[in-house]
Amino acid sequence: MAIMREISKEQVLAAMQNRHATKVFDSARLISGLDAQYILEAGRLSPSSLGLEPWKFVVVQNRQLRNKLKQLAPGAQGKLDTASHFVIILARTNVQYNSPYVLDHMRQVQQMPEEVVQYISGFLKEFQQVRGLLDDARLLYEWSAKQAYIALGNMMTAAALIGIDSCPIEGFDNAEVDRILADEGLLENGNFQSAVMMALGYRQEEPKRSKTRSDIEKLVAWR
């Protein structure tokens, strides 16, 4: 069993307090390869429904590809030019209960016995039918995309804990971004669609005002 190095609650909250949506990064400061792998590993280890991992992390370092994305992602303006690393999180679309991906994942990755595969597949079929996911490709994509945000949050927190800044980005033309990524051979014949983007690096300057949040009493209800 791996030995866990303890991190204090104060350290975690300090990192969260310091984290902010960085608009412009210091382009002269690059994230090390080891730190980039650590952040991506935090995404890989994130929880997902039935452990199906319905995501893919595309790290865009190619300058020409970044320039193409700038035309389609107003929310990424300034970040694509300066971020050390730029990640597009894709959401898997072929996550029907009986899809080859789902069945292979249970057998090969999760190493489930065949009777367990059939049981879980049946449970997933009922879940997806009740929620209409099997009748609407958009809903199926959104189910995966919601889980992609879990990985996004974990990667941003992991980055903050080691002093790396980040910014989540939604303001982009998904269809056109998907077209570009398809041309790059990254969507596996339509089995993925873009969900959200994330810029990583080191802030160029401190934010002009301190972080503001509602009081905890307004956000939490106990019963």
Mean pLDDT per 10-residue interval, the chain, length 223 residues: 74 92 95 98 98 98 96 93 98 98 98 98 98 97 98 98 97 96 96 98 90 94 95
CA distance 205 to 82: 13
What pLDDT score does 88 carry? 98
Residue 107 CA: distances (Å) to CA of 46, 52, 54, 116, 131: 20, 11, 16, 9, 25
What pLDDT score does 4 carry? 62
What pTM does this model have? 0.94
For 134, the token pair is 């099997």
What pLDDT score does 7 carry? 84
CA distance 80 to 87: 10
What is the DSSP secondary structure assignment for residue 56, as one 8-state letter? Answer: E
What pLDDT score does 209 carry? 83
For 202, the token pair is 């080191």
